[in-house]
């Protein structure tokens, strides 16, 4: 991946390039940014730049052997670690534990599609949406073992650890290595949520912050890389809220299911179809946690667009007639304050879903309080 293929984040690119040019690369860095801001894409570009034989002051050459191997994700001096489950197609001896390289082919395929993916999309690639992924002790041992070898082709060995939030206490095995790695060994940890990273790991890495990507940057990237119609790109960039992965999903219309379900739910609320709420809570529960989160995110994006529509009379380019009618209805019925209350309620729902709350009860509460917010100004947020 070239730096020029990473969307936005120019300040980070500059910082990383300077560190290589000056020969003072921090040995353990934590790329931290909210989902869809490009930490993994940047780590790939950085590893390629480090290995490139003809790098310039702006980017890798894209043509040397190092670049070609990096682009194909087969460079022997870049090692990727990520959350995973056991691969049922890989036979192991009884004393062997699963490790990341069991999924090497799937990983390459997923990154070729988009390095902006989230863990849910990655788990879908493994057909493991509802399983609990992690980074296990065997994989930590693998990192320790590989770090003890000399590099093969590059001056550096690079270890990319995507989502260190999934390292349980096993992560403590890596502390010594992060603190005093062998010579010319670089660690790039790519994370979304600082709170879920072991404090002992945080304190041993240099923080590199990724900010949400600017709307105009997302808009340009969609037009340039995805040949998106400019009017649609502009709308999607607003809804994506700094998350390039969300923008890609909207363009590819992957979230049709969530969108449809969201419209059904709002219909139950707006038209006070209370008798059907319980059925809906069961349907919601069956989705599984990641799809529930996706559903809520779809709803939050939708409400943001209703706010834009209400204030500026600009409908989303993604809306079809059904969405437009519903949005018109909500925009007339609800004040800004009510819409904001609803956003706050859905954020709370998301918070508890992420922490494994009881989906059915949470959903029923969300029905009750959402309907209250929609139909009156006295809705309380007692979720």
Residues that bind Zn ion (CB under 5 A): 52, 60-61, 64, 67
Pick the closer one to Zn ion by CB: 61 or 368: 61
Distance CA 33, CA 42 (A): 11
CB 82 to Zn ion: min, Å: 25
DSSP annotation of 181 reads P
DSSP 301-315: HHHHHHHHHHHH---
Pick the closer one to Zn ion by CB: 71 or 87: 71
- Measured in degrees and rounded to the nearest 5, phi and psi for residue 24 equal -120, 75
The number of residues making up the chain comes to 383
Pick the closer one to Zn ion by CB: 143 or 160: 160
CB 102 to Zn ion: min, Å: 29
CB 53 to Zn ion: min, Å: 5
CB 155 to Zn ion: min, Å: 13
Pick the closer one to Zn ion by CB: 61 or 202: 61
Q: Tokens standing for 160?
A: 């990319």
Pick the closer one to Zn ion by CB: 60 or 243: 60
CB 157 to Zn ion: min, Å: 17
Q: Where are the alpha helices (DSSP H) in the chain?
A: 10-21, 39-51, 65-71, 104-113, 119-125, 137-147, 175-179, 199-202, 215-226, 230-240, 244-252, 256-270, 277-286, 289-312, 321-333, 336-354, 359-375
Q: Strands of 28-33's sheet, edge to edge?
A: 78-81, 157-162, 185-191, 28-33, 206-210
DSSP 265-279: HHHHHHTT-GGGHHH
Distance CA 304, CA 240 (A): 10
Pick the closer one to Zn ion by CB: 154 or 316: 154
CB 68 to Zn ion: min, Å: 8
Q: Tokens standing for 83?
A: 């959350």
Pick the closer one to Zn ion by CB: 64 or 232: 64
CB 341 to Zn ion: min, Å: 53
């Amino acid at each position: 991946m070239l730096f020029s293929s990473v969307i936005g984040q120019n300040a980070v690119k500059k910082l990383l390039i300077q560190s290589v040019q000056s020969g003072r690369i921090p040995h353990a860095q934590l790329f931290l940014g909210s989902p869809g801001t490009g930490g993994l894409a940047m780590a790939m570009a950085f590893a390629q730049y480090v290995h490139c034989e003809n790098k310039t002051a702006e980017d890798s050459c894209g043509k040397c052997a190092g670049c070609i191997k990096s682009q194909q994700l087969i460079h022997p001096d870049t090692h990727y670690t990520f959350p995973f489950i056991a691969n049922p197609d890989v036979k192991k001896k009884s004393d062997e534990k699963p490790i990341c390289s069991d999924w090497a082919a799937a990983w390459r395929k997923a990154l070729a599609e988009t390095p902006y993916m989230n863990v849910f999309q990655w788990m879908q690639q493994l057909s493991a949406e509802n399983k609990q992924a992690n980074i296990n002790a065997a994989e930590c041992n693998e990192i320790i073992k590989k770090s003890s070898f000399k590099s093969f082709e590059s001056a550096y060995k690079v270890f990319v650890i995507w989502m260190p939030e999934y390292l349980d206490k096993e992560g403590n095995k890596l502390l010594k290595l992060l603190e005093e790695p062998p010579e010319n060994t670089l660690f790039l940890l790519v994370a979304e949520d600082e709170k879920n990273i072991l404090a002992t790991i945080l304190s041993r890495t240099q923080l590199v912050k990724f900010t949400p990507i600017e709307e105009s940057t997302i808009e340009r990237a969609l037009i340039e890389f995805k040949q998106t119609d400019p009017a649609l790109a502009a709308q999607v960039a607003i809804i994506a809220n700094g998350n390039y992965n969300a923008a890609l999903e909207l363009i590819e219309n992957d979230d049709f299911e969530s969108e449809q379900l969201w419209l059904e739910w709002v219909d139950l609320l707006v038209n006070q179809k209370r008798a059907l709420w319980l059925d809906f809570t069961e349907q919601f529960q069956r989705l599984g946690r990641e799809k529930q989160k996706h559903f809520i995110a779809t709803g939050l994006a939708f409400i943001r667009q209703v706010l834009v529509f209400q204030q500026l009379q600009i409908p989303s380019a993604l809306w079809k007639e059904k969405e437009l009618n519903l949005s018109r209805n909500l925009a007339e019925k609800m004040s800004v304050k009510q819409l904001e209350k609803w956003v706050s309620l859905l954020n709370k729902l998301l918070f508890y879903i992420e922490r494994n709350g009881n989906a059915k009860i949470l959903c029923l509460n969300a029905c009750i309080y959402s309907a209250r917010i929609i139909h009156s100004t006295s809705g309380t947020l007692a979720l």
